[in-house]
A and B are shown apart, each in its own frame.
Chain A
Amino acid sequence: MGDLLAALGDYTLRTVALGAAVLGLLGGALGTFAVLRRQSLLSDALSHATLPGVVLGFLVTGTTSGSGLMVGAAVTAALAAGLVLVVVQRTRLKQDAVLALVLSVFFGVGTVLLTYVATTGASGQSGLDRFVLGQAAGLVASDVRVMAVLTAVALAVVALLYKELKLVAFDPTFARAVGYPVRRLEALLTALLVVAIVVGIQTVGVVLIAALLITPAAAARQWTDRLAVMVVLAALLGAVSGAVGALLSATTTDLPTGPLIVLVATGIFLVSLPARALRTRLGARREVSARRAKGVGVR
């Protein structure tokens, strides 16, 4: 316990925990739409596709600090998303094959670029390596501020366009029939996903960021049947995973933050699994007593 209190007093740790919590919040909220639209694995593919962009950003800007890496990551991720869309729509290949292809080929190109950087002898290669598994400990206050701003913007967009996004996710044909620009709204959702990914890869890395976009949302689904509640709950569970993971990492030795955050999220998910069955049983009981009260026979 003393360890924990000391940890909370530590500025660096507070920063990391805050950053992780913000990331979890963003991942949970946006992940809800991704999971419902069956884009869980798209998150995985797009996050791997950021690697070449990160390296290119470094090559262009010459530094690992600054936003060049993030912009590069967003560009290649968006490119990958567009490629997936085109191939699935226009060929007989199905989404799973295209996702796997995009994921691995983009990542492969990224590793080629990494070795290129190594041959040029430019310093900063270790700075780029941290994107594979993340380096939460490297978060500083300015990073967290940027994350917070991006998160706020993304959440504001979701709040403002909530009913449109809900309709597009649930029944895109009806949405189009009623006159909404469905393709553009879907592109917006994908763009927000890219934002979440780009924000998260510094902290938990390319391989694990998908977890924050999938697991908290899947956990939240077990607790509720209403979309609004699911979004809020997923954000909350994500934030808790982030914060707890960061705290655990600080109070133990040798355990990297990224994987810990993911394990906490997975743990929360596992604990949530029985919730659904429990709710059904409670719901059924409530329904039975209501019918009894009305004097109606129980079936």
Chain B
Amino acid sequence: MSAPLAVRGVSAAYRSEPVLWDVSFTIPEGRLVGIVGPNGAGKTTLLKVAMGLLRPVAGSVEVFGDPVDRSRVGYVPQRSSVDWDFPTDARDVVEMGTYGRLGWLRRPGRRERRTAERCLDRVGMLDLADRQIGELSGGQQQRVFLARALAQDARLYLADEPFAGVDYVTERIVVDILRELRDEGRSVVVVHHDLATVADYFDTVVLLNRELVAVGPTAEVFTSENIARAYGGAARRAEELHRG
């Protein structure tokens, strides 16, 4: 069985300076992985390359041994690119997660609707199913997008800073769900911004600063030394967070 995510020698660039440089690692099944690193470390870029949204200038990414098929990856993006005034409610948005599996001409039916409601329920948003997407709070919107990814029923999930700027309740709910997904044997890869919670949330960690600094089980790899290497000048602050 091929690994859920295999990154081989990936380098990526937007303009002149490469944002990722010769990054290679493999994620086994059933892990909850945190990708951490300073700003501009290429974490989001790595996710985009994994999703096939950005072509790397060198190297390759394989998802379950297949370089092309994107519909098997559940994606929880940062909240930005959406039109908040769009006439759609939470249930509708979550139902969109089922579109990939329906193919081109089929309409979403009762089964898709029930899937959407189940996923909304799982994130604790079922009673807000009829609420317009623009009327929800930041944390609620984030949960809706997580539910949408759940509706994709994928074996690999990629999430981009799902905890950024959300309230405590949302954060607890999201972590619990990510753990459930991992316990179901799926793989979850999360770009994370908060060093203080890494040891608590993730069983595997990828330390990234354009290049791969370290990858492996959190207990082994998430050391002050590695953190210092990843964060450079911010080393001491990082160390303090790690200890605290």
Q: Mark B63-87, 1 if CB is under 8 A from A, else 0.
A: 0000001110101010001110111
| Interface residue? A171 (CB, 8 A) | yes
Q: A171-B81, A225-B87, A226-B89 are in contact. List 11 more A-B contacts (CB 8 A).
A: A36-B83, A160-B105, A167-B99, A169-B83, A171-B82, A174-B77, A179-B69, A179-B100, A224-B87, A225-B89, A227-B87
In Å, the complex CA distance between A36 and B84 comes to: 10
Q: Which single member of B81, B83, B88, B99 contacts A178 (CB below 8 Å)?
A: B99
Closest 9 CB pairs of A and B: A178-B100, A173-B81, A177-B75, A179-B70, A179-B71, A170-B86, A225-B87, A171-B82, A227-B87
In Å, the complex CA distance between A172 and B83 comes to: 10
Contacts of A163 in B (CB 8 A): 96, 99, 102, 107-108
Contacts of B102 in A (CB 8 A): 163
| Interface residue? B104 (CB, 8 A) | yes
Contacts of A136 in B (CB 8 A): none
Q: Mark A272-296, 1 if CB is under 8 A from B, else 0.
A: 0000000000000000000000000
| Interface residue? B60 (CB, 8 A) | no
Q: Mark A210-228, 1 if CB is under 8 A from B, else 0.
A: 0000000000010011110
Q: How many residues of B contact A (CB 8 A)?
A: 30
Q: Is the CB of B77 within 8 A of A177?
A: yes
| Interface residue? A230 (CB, 8 A) | yes
- Interface of A, secondary structure class, is helix
Spell out A's residues near B (CB within 8 Å).
Answer: 36-37, 160-164, 166-167, 169-174, 176-179, 221, 224-227, 230
Contacts of A167 in B (CB 8 A): 96, 99
Expressed in whole angstroms, the minimum distance between the Cβ of A116 and any Cβ of chain B is 43
Q: Is the CB of A178 within 8 A of B82?
A: no
Contacts of A37 in B (CB 8 A): 83
Q: Is the CB of B83 within 8 A of A221?
A: no
In Å, the complex CA distance between A230 and B107 comes to: 18
Q: Is the CB of A226 within 8 A of B77?
A: no
Contacts of A179 in B (CB 8 A): 69-71, 100
